[in-house]
């Protein structure tokens, strides 16, 4: 039985993510309780705000080593959304340099466009296959709100790109770890399908 944990660390659009998963009919809870995280089958980390603020809250409210045991050792499917994707990187440069989780090697830097934030609907350009994109058209649009972007060290980790004067990584995957720069919980049917695909992933 699938049991979804939306990590509660005082940041992120957690209610909207919960509502989508609940609508899809899955057992879900917003929590930072270690027992629930350990008993969950899928883990989601939403994110709103700055890179450094997100990392500060995570370090205050969670045991990173316990979280890594569930994701890096036990290989539970993990989805980071927006800043929740960005902090998967080695470090970020929003309001100074800040160390990330370093689960996927790379850095987060400002989008090269004077019109920031990048906000609204934009499409994704699929670079390689992923279970996350099952039954999704390559022309599907998703809802973005971002001024920074993840630059992976390994281009093989890039699932899709999006153009906003420059191409940037909009979906990333390394084994059981997925990240999306956009907000699937705000992206209507395409976002619901992507979340459903994630919840059907197993390793």
- Interval 19-30 mean pLDDT: 95
Number of Cβ within 10 Å of residue 134's Cβ equals 14
Tokens of 50: 């700055």
Identified catalytic residue from 82, 98, 118, 149: 82
| pLDDT tens string 34-83 | 999 999 999 999 988 899 999 999 999 999 999 999 999 999 999 999 99
Distance between CA 38 and CA 74 in Å, rounded? 10
Identified catalytic residue from 42, 118, 149, 183: 183
Tokens of 60: 């205050």
pTM for the structure as a whole: 0.96
Handedness of CA 128, 132, 136, 142 (dihedral sign): negative
* Residue 138 confidence (pLDDT) above 70: no
Domain boundaries in the chain? Answer: 3-199
Q: Can you name the residues that pair with 110 across neighbouring β-strands?
A: 148
* Residue 29 confidence (pLDDT) above 70: yes
5 is catalytic: no
The predicted structure's pLDDT at residue 60:
93
Handedness of CA 130, 105, 150, 188 (dihedral sign): positive
- Interval 143-166 mean pLDDT: 97
- Interval 190-201 mean pLDDT: 96
Torsion of CA 157, 75, 4, 138, to 10 degrees: 20
Q: What percent of the chain has pLDDT over 70?
A: 99
Terminal-residue alpha carbon distance, the chain? 14
11-29 burial, b for 16+ CB within 10 Å, e for fewer?
bbbbebbbebbeeeebebe
| pLDDT tens string 76-120 | 999 999 999 999 999 999 989 999 999 999 999 999 999 999 999
- Interval 143-155 mean pLDDT: 97
* Domain covering 3-199 in this structure, CATH number: 3.40.50.880
Number of Cβ within 10 Å of residue 85's Cβ equals 28
85: phi then psi, degrees, rounded to nearest 5: -80, -45
185 is catalytic: yes
Cis geometry, peptide bond prior to residue 52 (ω within 30 degrees of 0): no
């Amino acid at each position: 039985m699938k049991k979804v944990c939306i990590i509660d660390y005082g940041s992120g659009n957690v209610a909207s993510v919960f509502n989508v998963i609940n609508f899809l009919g899955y057992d879900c809870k917003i929590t930072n309780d270690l027992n629930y995280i350990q008993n969950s089958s899928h883990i989601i980390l939403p994110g709103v705000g700055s890179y450094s603020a997100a990392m500060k809250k995570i370090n205050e409210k969670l045991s990173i080593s316990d979280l890594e045991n569930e994701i890096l050792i036990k290989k539970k499917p993990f989805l980071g959304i927006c800043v929740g994707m960005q902090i998967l990187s080695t470090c970020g440069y929003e309001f100074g340099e800040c160390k990330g989780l370093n689960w996927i090697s790379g850095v987060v830097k400002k989008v090269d466009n004077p019109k920031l934030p990048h906000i609204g609907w934009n499409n994704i350009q699929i670079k390689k296959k992923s279970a996350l994109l099952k039954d999704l058209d390559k022309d599907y649009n998703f809802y973005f709100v971002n001024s920074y972007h993840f630059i992976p060290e390994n281009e093989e980790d890039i699932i899709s790109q999006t153009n906003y004067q420059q191409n940037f990584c909009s979906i990333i995957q390394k084994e059981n770890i997925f990240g999306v720069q956009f907000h699937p919980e705000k992206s209507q049917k395409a976002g619901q399908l992507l979340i459903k695909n994630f919840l059907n992933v197993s390793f």
